[in-house]
Chain A
Amino acid sequence: DAGVIQSPRHEVTEMGQEVTLRCKPISGHDYLFWYRQTMMRGLELLIYFNNNVPIDDSGMPEDRFSAKMPNASFSTLKIQPSEPRDSAVYFCASSEPGQSSYNEQFFGPGTRLTVL
């Protein structure tokens, strides 16, 4: 199993540019999560989907951030326009359905974003 796949692994961009981060969850997992991690704020949940439908986007910092999940095998997190304070590691994670509501989350390797 390939695990959760994220691309790109590193992104350096200039302030004001649009950034698109991509995620492919583990096949069969119906929950998908987007996180942001910084030294100052730790790991923050931005948004999560169930069966491609956004369930909770209360962690999305502002309108510059948007996330989509057009199908079960692909999700994007877009920042437009990007700002230096968006610099962070962005993780995608997925989880499978099961008897327990809270199953293990499998994280991707993350995208390290630097906004200059």
Chain B
Amino acid sequence: RKEVEQDPGPFNVPEGATVAFNCTYSNSASQSFFWYRQDCRKEPKLLMSVYSSGNEDGRFTAQLNRASQYISLLIRDSKLSDSATYLCVVIAMTTDSWGKLQFGAGTQVVVTP
């Protein structure tokens, strides 16, 4: 079983609709969580960090559920420009500040007109 798992999708979303997807992690020592966005044939870029209390950045909302060991990303009022692959990143505590860093394989979102 992979340490970080994501539904690969694609999630086909009409423009203006809401889409949400999860990322599950197996290491209970995980302490930091992020969502990155990767456009086709481009490098990943940080979308947002995920805080314990949940956080919002414009149309994007991230949630953390430690008990069930998953994080989620919700996109409201989807735009065509939201079409991308969304990667979750999980970092587990070790003695080094960066710890054990794991990327999920990504969830593809396709927003259609």
- Whether both chains belong to one complex is answered with yes
| A104-B46, A107-B43 given; A43·B96 CB < 8 A | no
Q: Which residues of B contact A109 (CB under 8 A)?
A: 42-43
Interface of A is mostly: strand
In chain B, positions 80-113 with a C-beta closer than 8 Å to chain A are: 87, 91, 96-106
Other-chain residue from A41, A42, A45, A108 in contact with B101 (beta carbon distance below 8 A): A45
Asked if residues B105 and A42 are in contact (CB atoms below 8 Å), the reply is yes
Other-chain residue from B98, B102, B104, B106 in contact with A102 (beta carbon distance below 8 A): B98
In chain A, positions 68-116 with a C-beta closer than 8 Å to chain B are: 91, 101-102, 104-105, 107-110
Tell me the number of A-to-B contacts counted with CB atoms below 8 Å.
Answer: 49
A55–B97 Cα distance when bound, in Å, is 10
Q: Which residues of B contact A (CB under 8 A)?
A: 32, 34, 42-46, 87, 91, 96-106
